[in-house]
Amino acid sequence: MGLFDSLKRGLARSREAINEVFYFGGDVDEDFWEELEDTLVMADMGAEISMQVTDDLRDEAARKNLTTAHELRRALAKRLEEVFVAPSSDLFLDTPACVLFVGINGAGKTTTVGKIAAAAQLAGKHPIIGSADTFRAAAIEQLDVWGNRAGVPVVKRERGSDPASVCYDVLDEADRQNKDLVLIDTAGRLHTSDELMRELAKVVSVTRKRAERMSTGSMPVRVILVIDAATGQNGINQATEFHEALGIDGIVLTKLDGTAKGGIALAVAARLGLPILRVGIGERIEDLQVFNAHDFAQALVGEE
């Protein structure tokens, strides 16, 4: 199954909600535009971006005399595509690199780390995993399973250890083994807790300092936020708080399958100007897809 087909499968519920607007038989009147704007808001694109997109589409429809569902869907897909920010490179394959994964509990960080490690190994990279979520025993066990399955080493300590020390250890080990991609899972943090966010900032700071002293030179450190698509508009609040505290480099959006809130990807991109790097649309390794703005917009509105 190709990327577009996978996205169509994962975004089915979001697409159904949006496409109900286009099943009309009358004029493209004020009621149509109000319904479209309301539907985009309900898909969790947010009021501001929904209003802007609807107004832009209304103007384009008037200028170009767009009246059919097909014409309007195609124009909507193109407009939505323009919202996204393109990453300068694939931050998981542009090595050497150290990547810290952050986010709240249950967002899918640990699974994301495992899938990216397995995919990087298949792509010919030399990854190593750091289990810095030392508060949740299941996280360490999950990473062990992923590491064993993919043949990727996992650096860990006993439960309750200082997570910053795990980050230091995994970079030491990466140095010894000449690994070019360090993937670090961190404990879930509530973005509303100042104390927890300060602790996470310390983890990032320690990691950066150690990464500057690799035997092959300084290794770039990237901070990636993992967001559960089903959280909807709360995902924007998460992204804002994490970005202000840590300086986020990109987003991984998980669990797009089974939610009617696929618009959260646009909301985050529009609010923070951050690239979406991967989208999760299932449980398999291949279901964590490289994000493509064109394919996403087309799949979201039902255009081929």
Show binding-site residues: 103-110, 185-189, 254-257
Rounded Cα distance, 100 and 133, in Å: 11
Measured CA angle at 169 (ends 164, 175), to 5 deg: 130
Tokens 């399958």 -> residue: 257
In sequence order, the 6+-apart residues with CB closer than 8 A to the CB of 36 are 21, 54, 57
Rounded Cα distance, 171 and 168, in Å: 5
186 CB-contact burial (10 Å; exposed 0-12 / middle 13-18 / buried 19+): buried
Q: Which residues are annotated as a binding site for GTP?
A: 103-110, 185-189, 254-257
The side-by-side arrangement of strands in the sheet containing 250-254 is 154-155, 127-132, 181-186, 97-102, 221-228, 250-254, 276-280, 288-290
Q: Token pair for residue 93?
A: 């394959």
CB 130 within 8 A of CB 183: yes
Give first-to-last CA distance, the chain, whole Å: 15
